[in-house]
Structures are given as C-alpha cells and as structure tokens.
Copies of this chain bind each other. A is one copy, B any other.
Amino acid sequence: MIIVLRPSATDRDIQKLVVRIRGLGLSPHVSRGKERTVIPVIGDDRVLATVPLLSYPFVEKVLPVLAPFKLVSREFHPKTTLVRARGLLVGSRRVAIIAGPCSVEDERMIIRIAKAVKRAGATALRGGAFKPRSSPYSFQGLGEEGLRYLAAAREATGLAVVTEVLDTRDVGLVARYADVLQVGARNMQNFELLKEVGMSNRPVLLKRGLSATLKELLQAAEYVVSRGTDQVMVCERGIRAVEDYTRNTFDLNAIPVLKELTHLPVVADPSQATGKWSYVHPMSLAAVAAGADALIVEVHDRPEDAKSDGEQSILPVRFAALVKAVRKVARSVGRTA
C-alpha cells in the first residue's frame, strides 16, 4: 500500500500516521519528494486496507500494491484448478460445453433438450428451476419440481446438471439435486449466498455481475473459496456498457486477464452476453479463441414459446453446428472440445 500525502501535510501529521501504521505491525518508509511525500508500507496490504486512511484530511490518495484477493490468485496457486462434476471437467486442455434451456418448463421438455445437447456434444446440462426475473410478473421458475425434472434429465443422459440457486435457504435443497450450483450475475455480491454455496460440497459456477470489475468478481470468488473449496469457475457473461444493439457487452478481454490473475477456470456465456440467438455462434468461437475453458449456451427447441430468454436461445440443430465449429477453432489454438 502506498500513501500519498497532500502538500499541506505537516511533520506532525506524518508522525501520527507512522505511529498508527507501526501499531498495525507494518513498516512505513517515508519518502519526501519536492511536490509530495509518499509512504510505501511494507507488509500485508490487506491489514492496512481496513484502516480508512482517506478520512485523514492530510491524506490525498491511497494506492494498493497487492490484489485484494489471495486464495483465488494464480500467484498463490500457479496451476489451473480442475473443476469436476460427473462427466463435466473444466480447466483442462479440452473446452467443455454446457448447454440447455434458460428455464426448465416441464419434464418432457428438459429431457428432450438434454438428449439433444448430449447428442451434439455437451458434457453438462444447464436449466433454471429458480429464476431471477426483473419483473415480479415474469415466470419465476418451477422451483423444486424443476429440480426433480433436471435430475430426471441427468438420469436419462448422464449429463451433469448446472442450475442456479437464488436464496441461502435453498442451497441445501438445490445441492441435493444439482451437480454444480450457479450463482447468477445479480447475486455476485450476495455475500451470504456466496458463503453458503462455499460450504455446499458442490462445485460453483460464479457469474460476473452486470457492472462488476474483474477484481470484484475475484473477491466474490474469494468468499466462496475461503469457505474451504477450490471447485469454483468464474464466468464472463457480458457487462453493461453503452451498446444497445446487444443486451450486454461481451468483455472478452476478461478471459486472458482472468487466466493471468486466477487459477480458477474461466467460462464464457455467449447467450447472456449477446442476448440474441444469431450472435451466439460467432461469439462462442471468439470466446474459445480468447482462451475460455468452457462455454455455457442456451438451447431451446421451441424458442418462440420459451418461458424465458427465447430470443437468445439457439435451436438444437444450430447447437450441433456450433459444437462442430467450436471444435475446429479449439484445434486451431491447440485445444480440443
């Protein structure tokens, strides 16, 4: 941590700060320049981060040196973590593909789509039983009934089941049915939920918040990992920016940056990130070329009747073509799919 003082800071101010910092067991190194005095502090930034240094009127800026996350950092754990859930393996040379409808609508529908995506090459099934919807008047998911149908679809196909959990009270329930617990973008900083899923004994797929920085995403992942698991995937699913032809802005820079900062595997969600079925194909390929470890794709066989996200769901036949295209691009960058 580096503390920059205002030009008006007096010797007494500096002394006061030095005493305070030493009291925390850290070593301040006062460096007086012509225009500013700066104080690099040797020791763990995370201790000093708890002190509101900017409330001192003589402090102008506080510049952190270390990242505010540790357990999830590649610096702490250089090798990419492999996340496993039944047939799903994320973080290896092989790009994993998770696919399925936005919501589970009925039992036959989810089994039918599960079979279709399995046939096309998916290794896990996505599908929502608890749905976070902007409007209270939209379909809110089938709840436990939906979880049962997902389990039936797993039975029928062997695919691992990835599904979202919204409420701390439901973590146990969802964990009984699902193989991977998803925490959605709107809950990325629902810290109580993060703690709870971290203790669920299930791998977690954590989506980036709508306007979260990657630092915040990794701090959220740190909440989960600090509960004792390393089975966490982080997912770029588009952020809110200026563009309105697409529902979100797919920040693909995030993929190489996350691969550099963290050992957790990185998933990309081109369906949420674009919001429109016709862009899912090219953006899936782009995500793989950028280095994503997995894709999560919305597939529906009657998108015009879908109870949610029909406009961004692709047909099974298009999904099959997408898997083939993903394989080609994966090979071109030295991976498989």
A interface residue numbers (CB < 8 A to B): 2, 4, 7, 29, 31-36, 38, 40, 42-44, 46, 49-57, 61, 63, 65-66, 68-69, 75, 132-140, 166-169, 186-187, 189-192, 195, 209-216, 219, 222-223, 226, 238-246, 248-257, 260-261, 273-274, 276-279, 282-283, 285-291, 303-311, 313, 325, 328-329, 331-333
A68 x B134 contact (CB < 8 A): yes
A167 proximity list for chain B (CB < 8 A): 168, 192
Provide the residues of chain B in CB contact with A313, threshold 8 Å: 52, 55
A52 near B304: Cβ-Cβ < 8 Å? yes
Considering the chains assembled together, what is the distance between the CA atoms of A38 and B2 in angstroms?
A: 9
Q: How far is the CB of A172 from chain B (nearest CB, A)?
A: 12
Q: Indicate if the CB atoms of A210 and B213 lie closer than 8 Å.
A: no
Residues of chain B within 8 A (CB-CB) of A55 are: 277, 303-304, 306, 310-311, 313
Instruction: For A244, list chain B residues within 8 Å (CB).
Output: 213, 215
- Contact (Cβ within 8 A) B40 A2: yes
| B279 engages A285 (CB within 8 Å) | no
Q: Which residue of chain B is the closest to A16 with respect to CB atoms?
A: B304
How far is A260 from B246 in the complex, measured between Cα atoms in Å? 12
**CB contact between A311 and one of B52, B248, B253 (< 8 Å): that residue:** B52
| A212 smallest CB distance to B (angstroms) | 7
The distance in angstroms between the C-alpha atoms of A304 and B253, with both chains bound, is 23
Q: A169-B168, A169-B169 in contact; A257/B246 too (CB < 8 A)?
A: yes
Chain B: minimal CB distance from A155 (Å): 28
Specify which of B31, B75, B311 is in contact with A42 (CB 8 Å cutoff).
Answer: B31
CB distance from A95 to the nearest CB of B (A): 13
Question: Is A283 within 8 A of B256, CB to CB?
Answer: yes
Q: How far is the CA of A166 from the CA of B135 in the complex (A)?
A: 20
